[in-house]
Structure 1
Amino acid sequence: MNRWDDIYEVSLPLPFALKAIKSYVIRGSNGFTVVDTGLSYEAAHEAWEHARKAIGFDWTDVEKIVLTHYHPDHYGMAGFLQERSQAPVFMSETDYQQAQLFFGRGSEQPDQMASFYGENGLPDEWTTQIPSHLRGFSQWVEPHPNPTFIRAGETIQLGDARYDILHTPGHADGHLSFYDGSRGLLIGGDFLLPKITPNISLWPGCDPNPLDSFLNTLEQMKPLEVKRIFPSHGPVFDHYQQRIEQLIQHHMDRLAEMKNWVMKEPLTAAEVCFRTFGKNLSVHNLRFALSETLAHLEYLRLNGQVQREKHGAHWVYYR
């Protein structure tokens, strides 16, 4: 287990491609703060028990639980840990609402997602798998927490330090990062990752131009003086500005590639997706690949670089 002064890194397993998420435990005079919780399933529960004993705290020593965003690998165990610790859970109101939209038992979002993908050219053999796949996540995020909402512009005590709360959308609409300017530390969730690019996805009922939001976030965050960033996936790193520039360039390259394809011939988002990511995908990875493709195509369309119209039952992007 890695430690930086008052911050402990806890690696929690995931039953899909990412393999692991990094949560952080911050030691303070009044107890411990947990930032992001992992998915609520047996292997992650066991990992938490091992980490808790190694660090040396009981769940009743946890004074607060803080979430960067609502995705299940971050949000999933929040309700369970809140019950164990009786600690408050802090997160953005936007992301709590989206957790209910995607993982609430009565939500129609899984069916709407299947229709959304179908309209964008995904064949029935895939769309029929979407509703049950999405509903399968509910078991990994229950019980839901009873959160206290926090927002950008405020500060929050994490351990013995005050952190500025920053809104860093793109990966999730209400994504929050936490910045200790006195030490140059950023707890960034999935905002900035050292080895992979954060997934930027277009979902029905959410930000209609998430890639634009993410690129704006990168530009706005660039001047921040960050000496060390604590990401949710991959190792702690220090090349902050360099990594921002790399991500901007990555998305510029992908936009140019997709624009080139639809300038040559009309294509559905699914066709562009399969050209970009291939067809050897699980339904889990396909969902993210197609939504990321749509985020790029809609960025191009909303910036006037390509157009879109309905050809029969499918939306087609063209010159």
Structure 2
Amino acid sequence: MKTRRRPYSDQRPTDLGGGVWSVPVPIPGNPLGYTLVYAVESPGGIVLIDAGWNHEDAWTALRDGLATVGVNVSDLRGVVVTHYHPDHAGLAGRVREESGGWIAMHQADADLVRLYRELAGDDGRHLQVEMMRKAGAGADAEAMVTADRPIPPAQPDVELQDHDLIDLPGRPLRAIWTPGHTPGHLCLHLEDTDRMFTGDHVLPGITPHIGIYPYDRSDTDPLTDYLASLDRLSVYTTTEALPAHEWTFPDVATRAAEIHQHHEQKLITLEALLTPTPHTIWQIAEKMTWNRPWPDLTPIQRGLAAGEAAAHLRTLESRGKAHRHPNAHFSTTP
């Protein structure tokens, strides 16, 4: 079944067949509109794939949407979180409180949840502002002093590794580690029906955010990781994708290859923007093409754009196409 993206107001819980349902859960104030939460039935109970944003409207939509397809939150066996971002993990803790079930997440993202819970409040805000200042953000950095920050998600009970089987008795639901969007992003392959819950890793009409935080890190290369994760899905040529946003689609492998090519072209375009004169990450981000003109982006959106610029610059650096200078300036390779 293929379901095209519609406004949240037009979305309804859907029986996708094979013991799988989708429930749209709103993301307040976000242009994505909603997260598609999936419920997977097994002889041992029902498991959710993701849970949605931690907001009362989202909770009502999740609870009532599940009830529409005959599922009571209190009866859930657990929640597998594809990655720690708030539109996926935000309500997992509340589901656990209501059901007594478990929360599962890849170990790398579980480590980040621990870190963010430690940095909740002013400490985390201070680090974000300093990161933006060092990148040359100017007034945009100051705007982050009063910006809202999402509540950190709940710490998971189960920390998954690549190839682990999820606790879903009678149905083989396997974790596939696909780092890039986050260090611990997981796709989940429901092997008995050859379906894959792709989270944000592979989406049908858009591409996920790939960024580096802090921007000046040189010990990680998330875009290179992401491209390798896309290539890993090349064998899933007959597998139906059930993504966390937009709509379901056939042939995971073809879409993964398209996204890989998109980023390769973006790297070529970025390399052409570099000059022998070193520029800050913020200055380079201003030159790049985004879905709206740079002046129309909010400070938060500019911060995300700079993170994506940093990730692409890091990959160019690892390929010998860009040169890093002190204080996170970049130029063409001498």
Q: Provide the TM-score with structure 1 as the length reference.
A: 0.90
Q: CA deviation at 1:26?
A: 1.1
Contact 2:277 2:331 in 1 (8 A): yes
Match of 1:236 in 2: 248
State the match for 2:47 in structure 1. Answer: 33
Native 8 Å contact 1:168 1:214 kept in 2: yes
Structure 1 gap ranges (5+):
none
Secondary structure of the 1:155 match is coil
- After superposition, residues 6-21 of structure 1 pair within 5 angstroms as 6-15=19-28, 16-21=30-35
Identity %: 23
CA contact (8 A) 1:167 1:174 kept: yes
Change (3 A) 1:97 1:207: farther
Aligned equivalent of 1:64: 78
Q: Matched residues in 2 for 1:32 and 1:200: separation?
A: 32
CA RMSD of aligned residues (A): 2.1
Query: Could you say which residue in structure 1 is the equivalent of 2:316?
Result: 300
Match of 1:285 in 2: 301
Aligned residues: 311
Letter in 1 for 2:328: W
Distance 1:109 1:65, change over 3 A: same
**Mapped partners of 1:80, 1:207: distance in 2:** 35
- Partner Cα distance (2:130, 2:27) in 1: 28
Map 1:116-127 to 2 at 5 A: 116-123=131-138, 125-127=139-141
User: How far is the alpha carbon of 1:58 from its aligned partner?
Assistant: 1.8
Give, in whole Å, the separation in 2 of the partners of 1:100 and 1:281.
30
Alpha carbons of structure 1 residues 244 and 90: separation in structure 2 relative to 1, 3 Å: same
Q: Is the 8 A contact 1:62 1:85 kept in 2?
A: yes
- Residue 113 (structure 1) aligned with residue 128 (structure 2): yes
1:221 aligned partner: 233
Alignment partner, residue 148 of structure 1:
158
- 1:199 is displaced (CA, Å) by 0.7
User: Residue 203 of structure 1 aligns with which residue?
Assistant: 213
Q: Is the 8 A contact 1:188 1:231 kept in 2?
A: yes
- Equivalent pair of 1:177/1:188 in contact (CA under 8 Å): yes
Q: Cα distance, 1:171 vs. partner?
A: 0.2
Task: Report the equivalent of 1:260.
Answer: 272
Q: Give the equivalent residue in structure 2 for 1:270.
A: 282
Q: Does 1:309 align with 2:325?
A: yes
Deviation at 1:226, TM superposition (A): 4.0
Q: State which of 101, 104, 126 in structure 1 corresponds to 2:115.
A: 101
Q: Which amino acid is the alignment partner of residue 131 of structure 2?
A: F
How far apart, CA to CA, are the structure 1 residues paired with 2:143 and 2:169? 43
Deviations 1:112-162 (A, max 9, x none): 222222222211x111233543x6212xx46x2442111112212447411
CA distance in 1, matches of 2:31, 2:86: 14
TM-score (norm 2): 0.87
Alpha-carbon distance in 1 for matches of 2:192, 2:210? 30
Letter in 1 for 2:71: F
Matched, 1:2 2:31: no
Measure the CA separation in 2 of the matches of 1:272 and 1:261. 8
Q: Structure 2: 5+ residue runs without aligned partners?
A: 1-12
Q: Could you tell me how far apart the structure 2 residues matched to 1:239 and 1:146 are?
A: 31
CA–CA separation in structure 2 for the residues paired with 1:197 and 1:215: 12
- Whole-angstrom distance in 1 between the partners of 2:100 and 2:122: 28
Match of 1:183 among 190, 193, 217: 193
